[in-house]
Amino acid sequence: MRNKIIIIDDDANTRKLLVQYLSKHGFEAFSYPYSNQASIAYIHSHDPDLIILDVSMPSVDGLIVCMELRKFSDKPVLFTSQHSEVNLRIDALNQGGDEYVLKPFNFDVLLARIKAHIRRYKRAFPVNQRHLLLYPGLEIDPSARSVKSYGKEVVLSTKEFRLLVTLAKNPNRIFHTETLYELIWRDMKEGDIRTVMVHIYNLRQKIEKKPKEPLYIHTIRGAGYKFNGSVSLSDDHIDNQL
């Protein structure tokens, strides 16, 4: 299976040349012009092995796209830019970028960097573990869409599953209720953000042994919710819960 790459750039010529070059070298390459939410949705639907993202485009901030992308994907992001300012480079890497490449770039050098990032990612995340989220007492497999709580299979609705994966992929990060609603229910033109609270309640009933004293999904008063990435189950607690 060929590695998949998405190029997001406002320059049509750059997109065309990159797609042609990468396709010639064995990659499955796609391009997208620019647009914050549309670009994110495009990446989400294609699940690429690497993203090439221009930092500055008309009416869109590549840094914001990367920040939103990191909410659901840990795939390598290679920033390209005509700007060499140190602060911009630092911001790009701090927002989740893996490398910052100045334009104009040498295509052969860029290819070597792409291969290196994909190779490192695959070495760090073997195929059989790449999408598995493991926490004490909880196992989430996004690719198989399965969840086990204390060794028992848990049946979740589509929204519940997406909500759990979003939180578990970003342990200890506080998500505002409004943010979760936009991420999970973005396909609904109208709705009530209180549905997030209802789904959190349902999730706790299904994955927590003591829903009123949740170990995994914590409520942050006045802010939203976070997934406890430091879950620690004592032997006594495990014995009492199993």
Domain boundary residue, one of 125, 155, 183: 125
What pTM was estimated for this model as a whole? 0.56
Per-residue pLDDT of 35-87, as tens digits, reads 556 677 778 777 789 999 988 765 567 888 888 887 777 789 999 998 888 98
Q: In the chain, where does DSSP find H-type helix?
A: 12-24, 36-46, 62-69, 86-94, 107-124, 158-168, 177-184, 194-207, 235-241
For residue 199, is it within any domain? yes
- Cα–Cα distance, 116 to 133 (Å, whole number): 25
Do 111 and 208 share a structural domain?
A: no
What's the pLDDT at 59? 57
**Phi-psi region for residue 150, left (φ > 0), alpha (ψ -120 to 50) or beta?**
left
Q: What is the mean pLDDT of the chain?
A: 84
CB 154 within 8 A of CB 147: yes
Do 114 and 160 share a structural domain?
A: no
Cα separations in angstroms, 182 against 93, 127, 172, 188: 25, 30, 19, 9
For residue 241, is it within any domain? no
What's the pLDDT at 36? 58
- Cα–Cα distance, 24 to 12 (Å, whole number): 18
- Cα–Cα distance, 37 to 13 (Å, whole number): 23
Round to the nearest angstrom and report the end-to-end CA distance of the chain.
41
For residue 56, is it within any domain? yes
What's the pLDDT at 7? 93
- b/e sequence 25-61, b meaning 16+ C-beta within 10 Å: eebbbbbbbbbeeebbebbeeeebbbbbbbbebeebe
Question: 77 - beta bridge partners?
Answer: 51
- Cα–Cα distance, 103 to 112 (Å, whole number): 16
The more confident residue out of 204 and 56 is 204
Between 194-207 and 158-168, two packed helices, what is the crossing angle to 10 degrees?
80
* Strand duo 224-227 + 217-220: pairing: antiparallel
CATH number, domain containing residue 44: 3.40.50.2300
Please determine, for residue 223, whether its predicted confidence score (pLDDT) is greater than 60. yes
The more confident residue out of 127 and 182 is 182
| SS3 call for 138 | strand
Cβ neighbours of residue 219 under 8 Å, at least 6 residues apart?
200, 225
Do 17 and 100 share a structural domain?
A: yes
Cα separations in angstroms, 183 against 9, 14, 26, 40, 228: 23, 30, 33, 11, 20
Give the number of domains in the chain.
2
Per-residue pLDDT of 129-164, as tens digits, reads 556 788 899 999 887 788 999 999 999 888 899 899
Do 121 and 55 share a structural domain?
A: yes
Domain boundary residue, one of 125, 150, 167: 125
For residue 11, is it within any domain? yes
Range of the domain at 212: 133-227
CATH number, domain containing residue 150: 1.10.10.10
For residue 28, is it within any domain? yes
